[in-house]
Amino acid sequence: MSALLTVPAAADLLRRGGVLAYPTEAVWGLGCDPFDEAAVLRLLALKQRELDKGLILIAANLAQFDGLLDWGALPPERRAEVVASWPGPHTWIVPATSRVPRWITGAHAGVAARVSAHPGVVALCTAFAAPLVSTSANPAGAAAPTTLAGIDPALRAAVDGILAGDTGGRDRPSDIRDARSGARLRA
């Protein structure tokens, strides 16, 4: 079983290329450094998820997305709606800059992004000083775990560490919307 970590130890693990389980607004997530290709590919293998689907980036604040989100590709009113929804459980597909690696965007031109209000996520991204990958801590096709005990035992044993804490108590994962149109892609 992987060790429970403090925020500083979890941030250090991410810097060393580790894969971490951590609580989010509603479910337990898996995360790693989005710019570490080996870590992302390992996370995808653990999750049994296809690269082409893309991954969510989660951040402590809007500034952590500087240089990653192409705000100029959106009309001002669309950007205003996205920014007004953060921090919170709202994930938006925003046009990505060329700095966002293909192993994050998958087969898409945009990147799924969220500024979280979950205190553990905010503390982790602040300590890491960057956004991180956020995907549910379950094998592809299985239910997303809402408790640490609900994480598949094999997956739990395979991660490098677990950030101590609890989910934010939401009854469902964040909604996902297209920033260009406002259309809801996942309710």
The 10s digit of each residue's pLDDT in 84-124 is: 999 999 999 999 999 999 999 999 999 999 999 999 999 99
Q: In the beta sheet, which residues pair with residue 21?
A: 30, 162
pLDDT digits (tens, 9 = 90+) for 34-83: 999 999 999 999 999 999 999 999 999 999 999 999 999 999 999 999 99
Q: What is the pLDDT of residues 18-30, one digit of tens each?
A: 999 999 999 999 9
> Tens digits of per-residue pLDDT, 111-166?
999 999 999 999 999 999 999 999 999 998 899 999 999 999 999 999 999 999 99
The correct answer on CATH 3.20.20.450 for the domain covering 4-182 is no
